[in-house]
Structure 1
Amino acid sequence: MDAKIVNLNELTKVLSVKEQAQEQLLVVMKALGIGKIVRNLKFEKAQGYTLTSLFISLLIMRLWGKTIACATSKHFHGLCAVSKNTLYRALLNARIDWRMLLTKITLRFHAILREHQVNTDEHDTCAILDDTTFQKSGIRIEGVSKVFDHVTHNFIYGMKCLTLALSDGKSCYPIDFSLHREKGKKKDYGLTLKQRKEQFKEKRNAKNPDYARKAECDESKLEMARRMLCHAVGHGINFKYVLADSWFTCESLIQAVRELCGGSVHYIGLAKMNPKLRYQTSKSKRPQNINELIARYNAQLHAIAENTSANTFSSM
């Protein structure tokens, strides 16, 4: 995945001069209170570079689409003086709870919006669920399986990334994510016995966040979607709607969404256009398929339009 500065219109002016980028990013990091968040979550390093400085270095590399190896070997305009091993160790730190870090940053971002009285439409705040395919070239990478890519309609080696994003009408940003692999029909992840044995494996401490992350790889994406929504609401991240495509639209997820915040959260999703599936609505005596529902609601809209037209003429 390539991140290019030309596609980040709002940051183009700030980052157009690479030598000034570190100063600008420090201002952003200070406003978000990254250092305080890291300390409060109690996974700060005991010695060496602080995690805050390492996060800034990683952010600079991502914005300019540079790999860690490339940026550290050339010191990247003097902005990255740390070694690649230092950055790799930070990313592999089993004690860093990336989910809570992202949650705390989101809460701080909301606080900044309130402090500066930025007008966002709270009635249209929407949580968005979507999954993306990450293709990998190395089969020995932990968690890699054969997954179906809905874009190319082919099976590839990689992972599925389930992302929960939040849109407030002015900005859209991720607030949670999980990585998944697919077992396949034969329950072998699309890999041979030799390939499964050669994959990277590590014994993890159940008390560390990476233990739960690894377990999530085999969880249902629908179950993880429900957990992520509950996690967001439980930490004060509120929304009025949950938006998802037809793959997520099912009774269990809709019911889970309607149970959030005492029933104040609604679900918006594309229904599966399979005529064999039937849906029970509050205004229908029996379950109806998609064609019957469309015909019924078209008739209702036609009746409303006729009544509106009749009332308009009677008042003239």
Structure 2
Amino acid sequence: MENKNTVIDAKIGNLNELTKVLSVKEQAQEQLLAVMKALGIGKIVRNLKFEKAQGYTLASLFISLLIMRLWGKTIASATSNHFHGLCAVSKNTLYRALLNARIDWRMLLTKITLRFHAILREHQVDTDEHDTCAILDDTTFQKSGIRIEGVSKVFDHVTHNFIYGMKCLTPALSDGKSCYPIDFSLHREKGKKKDYGLTLKQRKEQFKEKRNAKNPDYARKAECDESRLEMVRRMLCHAVGHGINFKYVLADSWFTCESLIQAVRELCGGSVHYIGLAKMNPKLRYQTSKSKRPQNIHEQIVRYERTTSCYCRKYK
């Protein structure tokens, strides 16, 4: 589902923690490999039982891909000059690893998160467990080719325009000192005409592949047309079911709705709370335990106004 020539434009230029490591190329290999060894990438890959039968191990390929990403290199550029001795494999080998239908990327990310938590406990890192929260966000990935599988016209809330691409829904975990993704899913938008913003010819020319229902990529493809609110609920349940706990869920106004709030409150026997920006539409009314009747957002603000507060012109 990924375009081989596309690089995700992640904001990795401000990684202050890695400045000393990345500034010296000769030391980078040793330092980064030490981090990967501590996370036990090789053991995680073997335990998930999707190791390759021959050639380079998946663990070594994953490490190469991560190092390339930290320096903002594409697979083609990194493999053409062996990238300071860190990458001696061909680009086709890396592409085949990324396109492996048997790799469960969701479970791989879950296991890495659990291992990271174990390392924090081993080193007795002081994190505030009472402030641990799951942060919900969706990011627009713009694509230049409309023949890529899963590409549709999506609305970009940053530019307020419709563009060709897909939405990446990501729940992240924050413990007060670190913030990292714990799951993800890719989505396309059907649009008002249910044609994904594409013509009939464009839809026919898009890449299609018949998948095995037993492989993880089958579920990934089905998720493209799933409701993002439903996927949020499933991903939060997946995280809690594997021992990734949090005290509350933080989200913006797009996610705030009764069904999601109810789903969050049902997690862990009602111990998880929801913090979200309420929609400022005056036509919407909210029922609280202290109000006898549903009230709109402006009535709620007046009722629960703090004695000392800062005035915000945008939200009044």
Q: 1:312 to 1:251 in 2, by over 3 A?
A: closer
Change (3 A) 1:3 1:186: closer
Q: Which structure shows the bigger proportion of residues in helix conformation?
A: 1
Q: Which residue of 1 aligns with 2:56?
A: 49
C-alpha deviations, 1:55-80, integer Å up to 9, x for none?
11101110111100111111111211
Unaligned runs of 5+ in 2: 1-7
TM-score (norm 2): 0.93
Q: What's 2:189 paired with?
A: 182
Q: CA deviation at 1:307?
A: 11
Indicate the RMSD between aligned Cα atoms, in angstroms.
Answer: 5.0
Q: CA deviation at 1:288?
A: 0.8
Alignment partners' CA distance in 1, 2:185 and 2:314: 58
Bigger mean CA offset, 110-119 vs 15-24: 15-24
- 1:307 is aligned to 307
Q: What is the DSSP-based 3-state SS (H/G/I as helix, E as strand, rest coil) of the residue aligned with 1:310?
A: coil
Report the TM-score when normalising by structure 1.
Answer: 0.93
**1:219 corresponds to which residue?**
226
SS at match of 1:308: coil
CA distance in 1, matches of 2:308, 2:162: 52
Q: How big is the shift at 1:19?
A: 2.5
Deviation at 1:309, TM superposition (A): 17
- The alpha-carbon distance between structure 1 residues 18 and 271, as it changes in their structure 2 partners (threshold 3 A), is same
CA spacing shift, 1:65–1:285, aligned 2, 3 Å: same
Matching of residues 188-227 of structure 1 within 5 Å: 188-227=195-234
Q: What whole-Å deviation, never above 9, does each CA across 1:100-159 have from its counterpart, x for those lacking one?
A: 000000000000000000010000000000000000000000000000000000000000
Q: Distance in 2 between matches of 1:219 and 1:11?
A: 37
Whether the 8 Å contact between 1:4 and 1:63 is mirrored in structure 2 is no
Structure 1 segments, 4+ long, off by >2 Å, are 1-6, 306-316
Q: CA deviation at 1:232?
A: 0.4
1:30-59 deviation per Cα after TM superposition (whole angstroms, max 9, x unaligned)? 111111100000001110000111011101
TM alignment of 1:1-316, pairs within 5 A = 1-2=8-9, 6-297=13-304
Contact 1:4 1:64 (C-alpha < 8 Å) held by counterparts: no
Q: CA deviation at 1:312?
A: 30
Report sequence identity in percent: 93
Distance 1:34 1:284, change over 3 A: same
How far 1:2 moved relative to its partner?
3.9
Q: CA deviation at 1:311?
A: 27
Shift of 1:5: 6.2
Q: Using a 3 Å threshold, how does the CA distance of structure 1 residues 159 and 3 change in structure 2: closer, same or farther?
A: closer
1:178 offset after TM fit, Å? 0.3
Q: How far 1:20 moved relative to its partner?
A: 2.4
Give the Å deviation of 1:315.
38
Report if aligned partners of 1:6, 1:12 keep a CA contact under 8 Å in 2: no
**Distance of 1:48 and 1:220 partners within structure 2:** 39
* SS of residue in 2 equivalent to 1:134: strand
Instruction: Quote the offset at 1:29 in angstroms.
Output: 1.0
